[in-house]
C-alpha cells in the first residue's frame, strides 16, 4: 500500500495529549480491558454522522457499548446467502458472541442518508438510482417506508418521520434474525429505538404501547 500517508500532525498531537492524560489516568482499566476482554451491556447501532456522539450522550465508559455505525443506522433483513453483510455480522457478534442484553438503534435529525432516500423516491436524485450507487442501494432498505410518509407536505416533517421509520425498520429487521427473535422472546435481549434531535439536544424513545416516539 504505497498510498498510505502519515497521520496529520494535529491528530498526532491530540493522541499524545490523550496518552498523557486520559490514558495515564485510566491505565489500570485499559490494561484490564485488554487482558480480560470486553463485557459490554449493550450494542448501539447509530449513524456515521459526525454530529452524533453516542458516547457523550450516554456518559459511556470504555468497554460499555459495542457500537456499529453505518449510513442511517439501518439493519438489513436476515439474508444468510454467503455474501458479505457487515451489519449482520456486527449484530451476530454482539448477540451471539458477546451476549449483549440490549440492542439500541439510534436515529437522528438531519440525516443525510434518509434525505437521500427521500430525494431518490421523489425522483430528484437519479444518481442514487444507479446500480453502482452504494448509498442508493443501501437506502433501498428504507425505501418501502416512503409511501407511509409520501403525503406529508412539510419537507422537514416528512424527513423526520422517515428518520423515525428508519429506526423502526431496523427494529423490525432485527426481529427477522432467528437468534435475535429467540433471545427477545426468552427475555434475554431487549430492543430499543431512539431518535436524537441534534440541534435541540432532544432524545425520543419508541413506545410500543403508543406506537410513537416520545421524549425520554
CA–CA–CA angle 20, 7, 71 (5° rounding): 100
Least CB distance to its own copies at residue 174 (A)? 8
Q: Is 124 in the site for its own copies (CB under 8 A)?
A: no
Query: What nine digits make up the cell of 113?
Result: 442518508
Show contacts with its own copies in window 148-207 (CB under 8 A). 168, 171-172, 175, 183-184, 187-194, 197-201, 203, 205-207
Taking the least distance from each CB to its own copies, the nearer of 21 and 124 is 21
Q: What is the DSSP string of 172-193?
A: HHHTTSHHHHHHHHTTS-EEEE
49 lies in the binding site for its own copies (CB under 8 A): yes
Is 4 among the residues that bind its own copies (CB under 8 A)? yes
Q: Which of residues 57-86 bind its own copies (CB under 8 A)?
A: 57-71, 74, 76, 80-86
Q: Extract the C-alpha cell encoding 80.
A: 444468510
Instruction: Please tell me whether 192 is known to bind a ligand.
Output: no
Instruction: Tell me how far apart the alpha carbons of residues 24 and 143 are, in angstroms, rounded to a whole number.
Output: 47
* Among the listed residues 20, 183, 173, the one whose alpha carbon sits nearest the alpha carbon of residue 94: 183
The binding site consists of 47, 49, 108, 111
Amino acid at each position: 500500500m504505497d498510498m498510505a500517508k502519515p497521520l496529520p500532525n494535529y491528530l498526532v498531537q491530540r493522541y499524545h495529549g490523550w496518552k498523557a492524560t486520559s490514558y495515564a489516568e485510566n491505565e489500570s482499566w485499559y490494561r484490564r480491558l485488554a487482558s480480560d476482554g470486553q463485557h459490554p451491556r449493550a450494542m448501539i447501532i447509530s449513524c456515521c454522522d459526525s454530529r452524533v456522539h453516542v458516547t457523550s450522550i450516554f456518559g459511556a465508559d470504555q468497554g460499555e457499548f459495542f457500537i456499529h455505525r453505518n449510513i442511517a443506522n439501518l439493519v438489513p433483513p436476515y439474508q444468510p446467502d454467503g455474501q458479505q453483510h457487515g451489519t449482520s455480522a456486527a449484530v451476530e457478534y454482539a448477540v451471539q458472541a458477546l451476549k449483549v442484553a440490549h440492542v439500541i438503534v439510534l436515529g437522528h435529525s438531519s440525516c443525510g442518508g434518509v434525505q437521500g432516500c427521500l430525494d431518490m423516491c421523489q425522483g430528484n436524485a437519479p444518481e442514487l438510482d444507479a446500480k453502482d450507487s452504494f448509498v442508493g442501494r443501501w437506502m433501498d432498505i428504507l425505501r418501502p417506508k416512503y409511501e407511509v410518509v409520501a403525503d406529508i407536505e412539510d419537507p422537514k416533517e416528512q424527513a423526520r418521520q422517515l428518520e423515525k421509520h428508519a429506526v423502526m425498520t431496523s427494529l423490525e429487521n432485527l426481529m427477522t434474525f432467528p437468534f435475535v427473535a429467540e433471545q427477545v422472546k426468552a427475555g434475554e435481549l431487549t430492543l430499543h429505538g431512539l431518535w436524537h434531535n441534534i440541534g435541540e439536544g432532544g432524545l425520543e424513545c419508541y413506545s410500543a404501547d403508543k406506537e410513537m416516539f416520545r421524549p425520554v
